[in-house]
Amino acid sequence: MPGTIDLHCHTTASDGVLSPAEVVKRAAEAGVSVLAITDHDTVDAVEAAAEAARGLALRIVPGVEISARIGDKEIHVLGHFFDPRDPALVAGLASFREKRRERAARMVEQLRAHGAPLDLEEVLDTDGSVGRPHLARLLVARGHARDFREAFDRWLGKGKPGWVERSMPAAHEAIALVRGAGGVASLAHPRLSKVEGDELVALARAGLSGLEVDHPHQDEDVRRTLRLAARSLGLEATAGSDFHGSEGSPGQESMDDEAFRRYEAGASSSA
């Protein structure tokens, strides 16, 4: 009985709450047979996950989720099957993480000015990728928000008191970084990012290989529309749980086996 194929999940290397080994354990228990580790702007968890999966009937695919822009829109480019040691990729991701740290520091300043002080050292206390979820958890812990959702609604969402614009690579640059490292790229949660038809065409021209059709925050109607768009643009329909450790489960979305093989065949690295 083959397991599920999940191309999107997070660990403590970015904003997930479980370690790479814990995520692997959950995935194995849930019957996942292929799992891509796709942390925000880092590949640091890939090796630990592969190590933890050794001897299990679970294949770990090297992955990453790169925040990028198309026009004024923020989108997330998923990269898969690349060489995680590729020097240009490693250097690019390191610079994106540095920009995340600078942004987090500015957000802490603004939050302080608006009466929600946090300890900057605590915010920056990670070797991984700092993101707004880290700030959200601390805002809750310090009593500045009742829960995670309120932290975003009141403080961290776009236009809220803590909000700071972040500099990001252009989408075509993010795709080129992944492909240059021997991988293939797909667009994460297209509907969540409100990506439109003409933008999909531009992304396909820029070398995109897949569209994340199956994602927990996209309903059946949305999936049907995206599946048609993928077919007409020659993109594979990918699937991802976007598991962050507290809700849902690895493997709750699963990619079609044949589509997975075609998607992987587009990669030039032997990963």
Q: Find the shortest distance in angstroms from Cβ 224 to Fe ion.
A: 21
According to the binding rule CB under 5 A, does residue 83 interact with Zn ion? no
Candidates 30, 50, 76, 132: give the one binding Fe ion (CB under 5 A). 76
Residue 38 sits at the vertex; the CA angle it makes with 255 and 107, to the nearest 5 degrees, is 135
Beta strands in the chain (DSSP E): 4-6, 32-37, 59-70, 73-80, 184-187, 210-214, 236-239
Contact range with ligand AMP by CB under 6 A, out of 47-55, 147-155, 221-229, 251-259: 147-155
According to the binding rule CB under 5 A, does residue 242 interact with Zn ion? yes
According to the binding rule CB under 6 A, does residue 132 interact with ligand AMP? yes
**Placement of tokens 């989720």 in the chain:** 65
**With CB cut-offs between 5 and 8 Å by kind, which of Fe ion, ligand AMP, Zn ion, none does residue 132 bind?**
ligand AMP
Amino acid letter at 171? A
Residues 226-265 that bind ligand AMP (CB under 6 A): none
According to the binding rule CB under 6 A, does residue 67 interact with ligand AMP? yes
Q: Find the shortest distance in angstroms from Cβ 6 to ligand AMP.
A: 16
According to the binding rule CB under 6 A, does residue 223 interact with ligand AMP? no
Question: In terms of C-beta density within 10 A (0-12 exposed, 13-18 middle, 19 or more buried), how is residue 54 classed?
Answer: exposed
According to the binding rule CB under 6 A, does residue 152 interact with ligand AMP? yes
Other beta carbons within 10 Å of 150:
15
Between 199 and 242, CB nearer to Zn ion: 242
According to the binding rule CB under 5 A, does residue 97 interact with Fe ion? no
Candidates 8, 40, 80, 144: give the one binding ligand AMP (CB under 6 A). 40
**Measured between alpha carbons, how far is 204 from 64 in angstroms, rounded to an integer?**
19
Closest residue to bound Zn ion by CB: 242
In this structure, is the dihedral angle defined by the CA atoms of residues 244, 212, 164 and 168, taken in order, positive or negative? positive
Give the three-class secondary structure for 170. Answer: strand
Contact range with ligand AMP by CB under 6 A, out of 29-37, 109-117, 130-138, 198-206: 130-138
Q: Find the shortest distance in angstroms from Cβ 73 to Fe ion.
A: 13
CB of 166 within 8 A of CB of 99?
yes
**With CB cut-offs between 5 and 8 Å by kind, which of ligand AMP, Zn ion, Fe ion, none does residue 152 bind?**
ligand AMP
Q: How far is CA 1 from CA 27, 28, 54, 57, 239, in A?
A: 15, 14, 20, 11, 19
**Measured between alpha carbons, how far is 172 from 176 in angstroms, rounded to an integer?**
6
**Measured between alpha carbons, how far is 69 from 76 in angstroms, rounded to an integer?**
8
**With CB cut-offs between 5 and 8 Å by kind, which of Zn ion, Fe ion, ligand AMP, none does residue 67 bind?**
ligand AMP
Amino acid letter at 198? D
Candidates 5, 9, 11, 15: give the one binding Fe ion (CB under 5 A). 15
